[in-house]
């Protein structure tokens, strides 16, 4: 990818612990503008923790983390986020469009503007849900709700997108479409795409971070099947230009 | 028809102004109850509102005691209840937000200690104090001063909800996400708890400390059965609350029974009937 190498997220000797149990230790990386980074690793490896650190929802216990040269909590406005777990009540009385609009709600004061509503319509269009804008969020399927949450993350036109296992409750067909969408989104922003299952490693991913307490980076080209297999004891799937190819018995 | 005529005659009768006062109090506070009730229901903090309203007895008792024993007459029961309710709401909010204590423990503690304090103040107040009136409501407790306070507080509460509606909606739907948008979620949580405290006190005189929580949650829950948007739910809840208050007052006048319990029973009946109708409608639709 022909990008000027502009650092967007920088971690230096980053560590985090809940109470005393270390979750992340000595993590170093720099993510550059326009990169699509696949974040893989076993359950409990610390992927969501890294995402929350980048969002500024939790503070590092050691080391430094900068987003666009600023403290994470200051740079939040530049970040779009799709959480792994939905803590909200799925029967909450709210329309699809209103959910998307919460992505650009003023922090303290002020209502949604015409521009906000146009952005919400645009975001819903990108995830293919324009026709459901006025429906109740509660009436959508799990996969559709997940797409609404992606639209919510897109509505503020963030330069960084953090997707924490966005395909967790999306079926296999949808999740390939999903990947297409994510790849499209990554053309003009930095994307962290977290996944734990078989490692959704797209050809379009620029880099792969494997997180298990520490961070090990794998260039996509070097991501050999036996390596991933050894990490997960599971087959790898590879997506090539929207065609889904099972690479279980392929040598990369 | 005779009953209605008699009720309207009573409303116009200058010798029984308290009926008029009770009607106005119910109608005005319904705005606050519908809006804040909607928030309390979708945010599932009715037990917080329950603790606050019961603890308000401490403020009621203290104001009775201090005005009787120390001649602090500016401290009316409603004002005392309001101050204690707001303080308790802050304690619960701050403990929930910052202390690693379980929320239900602190809620139970505030609930019981507040009532106990109130009962001791009432016991120590010389002369006869009808504790039953404060616990279960008495429309005779609403005078012109109370009416003015209820009007003002309802207006300010409604205005606050309208002003911060997008932020409140965002917080109630997904608090973590609101935080990632830079929303000061602690401030808004505190604001919502404060609004609940103020609102609860507005109907304490008419329906009483024990039952006021039902007026906050029943109309909103009824509205929630049919509404698909939070704002629709609020508007419907305002209408239902006003209806229950007015019908409760008229019915209790006609049957010569206490107003508070009548109003509560009507609200509960409204909820049950709506629930049954909605369930039946869903089954019918599925059957077709
Ligand atoms: N709120 C929390 N309190 C204590 N420990 C936690 C908390 N959240 C996560 N952990 C622990 O931190 C580790 C990493 O969790 P997480 O980042 O969610 O993993 P992943 O997203 O890679 O599955 C796990 O061992 C988990 O048990
Ligand atoms: Mg996770």
What's the pLDDT band for A165 if we cut at 50, 70, 90? confident
Q: How far apart are CA A224 and CA A218, in angstroms?
A: 10
pLDDT at A197: 55
B285 touches chain A (CB under 8 A): no
CB A15 within 8 A of CB A62: yes
Per-residue pLDDT of A26-39, as tens digits, reads 999 999 998 889 89
A109 touches chain B (CB under 8 A): yes
Residue partners of A129: CB distance under 8 A and separation at least 6: A96, A144, A147, A148, A151
pLDDT at A188: 81
Per-residue pLDDT of A7-57, as tens digits, reads 999 999 999 999 888 999 999 999 999 888 989 888 889 999 999 999 999
Alpha-carbon radius of gyration of chain A = 18
What is the token pair recorded at B57? 């007895």
DSSP letter, residue A146: H
Q: Which residues of A touch B172 (CB under 8 A)?
A: 92
Average per-residue pLDDT for chain A: 81
DSSP letter, residue A17: E
> What are the backbone dihedrals phi and psi of residue A189, each rounded to the nearest 5 degrees, phi first?
-155, 165
Distances (CA, A) of A140 to A36, A147, A150, A179, A242: 29, 10, 14, 20, 25
Q: How many CB pairs under 8 A join A and B?
A: 84
Contact B180 A107 (CB under 8 A): no
CATH architecture for the domain at B14-216: Orthogonal Bundle (1.10)
B186 touches chain A (CB under 8 A): no
Q: Which residue of B has its CA nearest to A77?
A: B181
Q: Which residues of A touch B182 (CB under 8 A)?
A: 76-77, 107
CA of residue A48 to ligand 1 center, whole Å: 7
A57 touches chain B (CB under 8 A): yes
What is the token pair recorded at A215? 């961070």
Distance (Å) from the alpha carbon of B157 to chain A's nearest alpha carbon: 16
Segment B155-162 mean pLDDT: 97
Distance (Å) from the alpha carbon of B192 to chain A's nearest alpha carbon: 14
Q: Which residue of B has its CA nearest to A103?
A: B181
Min mean pLDDT across A167-171, B102-106, B148-152 is at A167-171
pLDDT at B132: 86
Contact B166 A136 (CB under 8 A): no
A119 touches chain B (CB under 8 A): no
What's the pLDDT band for B92 if we cut at 50, 70, 90? very high
| Residue A216, pLDDT above cutoff 90 | no
CB-facing half-sphere around the CA of B245: CA atoms within 13 A: 32
Q: What would the DSSP string read from start to end of A55-90?
A: HTSS--SEEEEEETTB-HHHHGGGEEEE-SS--S-T
Q: Which residues of B touch A98 (CB under 8 A)?
A: 169, 229
The three-state (H, E, C) secondary structure of chain B, written as one string: CHHHHHHHHHHHCCCCHHHHHHHHHHHHHHHHHHHHHHHHHHHCCHHHHHHHHHHHHHHHHHHHHHHHHCCCCCCCHHHHHHHHHHHHHHHHHHHHHHCCCCHHHHHHHHHHHHHHHHHHHHHHCCCCCCHHHHHHCCHHHCCHHHHHHHHHHHHHHHHHHHHCHHHHHHHHHCHHHHHHCCCCHHHHHHHHHHHHHHHHHHCHHHHCCCCHHHHHHHHHHHHHHHCCCHHHHHHHHHHHHHHHHHHHHHHHHHHCCCHHHHHHHHHHHHHHHHHHHHHHHHHHHHHC
Q: Global pTM? A: 0.88
ipTM: 0.89
What's the pLDDT band for A248 if we cut at 50, 70, 90? very low
Q: Which residue of A has its CA nearest to B186?
A: A108
Segment B206-228 mean pLDDT: 94
Distance (Å) from the alpha carbon of B232 to chain A's nearest alpha carbon: 9
**Judged by CB atoms within 8 Å, which residues 18-57 of B form the interface with A?**
42, 44
Ligand 1, atom 18: closest residue by C-alpha: A48
Percent of chain A residues past pLDDT 70, beyond the cut = 77
| Residue A250, pLDDT above cutoff 50 | no
Q: How far apart are CA A203 and CA A36, in angstroms?
A: 10
| Residue B75, pLDDT above cutoff 70 | yes
Ligand 1, atom 5: closest residue by C-alpha: A18
Ligand 1, atom 24: closest residue by C-alpha: A44
**Strand A160-164 vs strand A190-194: parallel, antiparallel, or unpaired?**
parallel
What's the pLDDT band for B131 if we cut at 50, 70, 90? confident
B225 touches chain A (CB under 8 A): no
pLDDT at A102: 96
Going by C-alpha positions, the residue among A197, A84, A186 that lies closest to residue A126 is: A186
Distances (CA, A) of A207 to A29, A35, A83, B285: 11, 8, 21, 51
Contact A88 B184 (CB under 8 A): no
Set out the domains of chain A in order of their start, with CATH numbers.
Answer: 7-85+158-232 (3.40.50.300)
Q: 3-state class of A251 per DSSP?
A: coil
Alpha-carbon radius of gyration of chain B = 19
Going by C-alpha positions, the residue among A206, A211, A199, A194 that lies closest to residue A2 is: A206
CB B75 within 8 A of CB B63: yes
Strands ordered across the beta sheet of A190-194: A79-82, A160-164, A190-194, A36-40, A207-212, A214-219
Which neighbouring-strand residues pair with A7? A32
B177 touches chain A (CB under 8 A): yes
> How many Cβ atoms sit within 10 Å of the Cβ of residue B258?
18
Percent of chain B residues past pLDDT 70, beyond the cut = 99
| Residue A200, pLDDT above cutoff 90 | no
pLDDT at B11: 86
| Nearest CB neighbour to A93, from listed B167, B174, B229 | B229
What is the token pair recorded at A50? 């890294």
Q: How far apart are CA A241 and CA A249, in angstroms?
A: 20
Ligand 1, atom 26: closest residue by C-alpha: A44
Contact B166 A105 (CB under 8 A): yes
Q: Which residues of A touch B181 (CB under 8 A)?
A: 76-77, 102-105, 107, 156
Q: What would the DSSP string read from start to end of A163-225?
A: EESTTTTS-HHHHHHHHHHHHHHGGGSEEEEE--SS-EEETT-SEEEEEESEEEEEEGGG--H
> What are the backbone dihedrals phi and psi of residue A202, each rounded to the nearest 5 degrees, phi first?
-90, 150
What is the token pair recorded at B12? 């116009």
CB-facing half-sphere around the CA of B201: CA atoms within 13 A: 35
Strands ordered across the beta sheet of A237-240: A200-202, A237-240, A243-246
pLDDT at A169: 66
Segment A147-154 mean pLDDT: 92
Min mean pLDDT across A197-201, B102-106, B173-177 is at A197-201
What's the pLDDT band for A195 if we cut at 50, 70, 90? confident
User: A46 in ligand 1 pocket by Cβ < 6 Å?
Assistant: yes
Distances (CA, A) of B50 to A126, A196, B212, B258: 45, 43, 8, 22
Domain ranges of chain B: 14-216
A161 touches chain B (CB under 8 A): no
Ligand 1, atom 16: closest residue by C-alpha: A46
pLDDT at B102: 81
What's the pLDDT band for B205 if we cut at 50, 70, 90? confident
């Amino acid at each position: 990818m022909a990008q000027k190498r502009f650092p967007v997220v920088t971690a230096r000797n980053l560590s985090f612990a809940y109470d005393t149990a270390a979750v992340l230790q000595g993590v170093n990386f720099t993510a550059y503008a326009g990169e699509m980074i696949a974040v893989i690793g076993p359950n409990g490896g610390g992927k969501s923790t890294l995402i929350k650190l980048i969002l500024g929802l939790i503070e590092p216990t050691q080391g430094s983390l900068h987003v666009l040269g600023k403290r994470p909590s200051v740079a939040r406005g530049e970040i779009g986020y799709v959480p792994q777990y939905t803590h909200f009540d799925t029967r909450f009385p709210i329309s699809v469009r209103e959910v998307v609009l919460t992505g650009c709600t003023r922090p303290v004061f002020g209502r949604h503007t015409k521009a906000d509503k146009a952005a919400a319509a645009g975001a819903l269009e990108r995830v293919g849900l324009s026709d459901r804008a006025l429906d109740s969020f509660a009436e959508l399927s799990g996969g559709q709700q997940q797409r609404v949450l992606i639209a919510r993350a897109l509505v503020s036109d963030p330069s960084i997108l953090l997707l924490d296992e966005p395909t967790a409750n999306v079926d296999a067909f949808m999740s390939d479409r999903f990947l297409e969408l994510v790849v499209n989104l990554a053309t003009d922003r930095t994307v962290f795409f977290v996944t734990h299952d078989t490692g959704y490693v797209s050809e379009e991913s620029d880099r792969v971070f494997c997180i298990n307490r520490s961070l090990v980076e794998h260039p996509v080209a070097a991501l050999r099947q036996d390596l991933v297999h050894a990490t997960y004891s599971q087959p790898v799937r590879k997506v090539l230009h929207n065609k889904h190819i099972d690479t279980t018995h392929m040598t990369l | 028809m005779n009953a209605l005529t008699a009720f309207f005659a009573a409303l116009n009768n200058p010798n029984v102004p308290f009926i008029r006062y009770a009607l106005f109090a119910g109608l005005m506070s319904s705005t606050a109850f519908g809006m804040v009730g909607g928030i309390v229901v979708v945010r599932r903090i009715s037990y917080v509102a329950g603790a606050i309203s019961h603890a308000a007895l401490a403020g009621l008792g203290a104001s009775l005691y201090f005005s009787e024993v120390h001649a602090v007459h500016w401290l009316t029961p409603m004002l005392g209840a309001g101050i204690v309710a707001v303080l308790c709401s802050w304690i619960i909010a701050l403990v929930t937000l910052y202390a690693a204590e379980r929320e239900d423990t602190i809620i139970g503690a505030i609930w019981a200690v507040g009532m106990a304090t109130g009962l001791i103040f009432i016991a120590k107040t010389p002369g006869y104090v009808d504790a039953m009136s404060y616990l279960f409501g008495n429309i005779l407790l609403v005078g012109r001063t109370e009416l003015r306070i209820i009007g003002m507080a309802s207006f300010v509460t409604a205005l606050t909800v309208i002003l911060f509606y997008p932020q409140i909606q965002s917080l109630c739907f997904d608090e973590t996400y609101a935080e990632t948008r830079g929303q000061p979620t602690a401030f808004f949580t505190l604001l919502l708890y404060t609004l609940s405290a103020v609102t609860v006190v507005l109907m304490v005189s008419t329906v009483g400390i024990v039952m006021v929580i039902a007026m906050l949650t029943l109309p909103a829950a009824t509205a929630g059965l049919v509404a698909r948007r939070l704002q629709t739910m609020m508007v419907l809840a305002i209408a239902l609350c006003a209806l229950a208050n007015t019908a409760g007052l008229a019915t209790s006048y006609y049957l010569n029974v206490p107003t508070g319990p009548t109003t509560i029973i009507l609200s509960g009946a409204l909820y049950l009937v709506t629930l049954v109708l909605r369930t039946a409608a869903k089954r019918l639709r599925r059957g077709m």
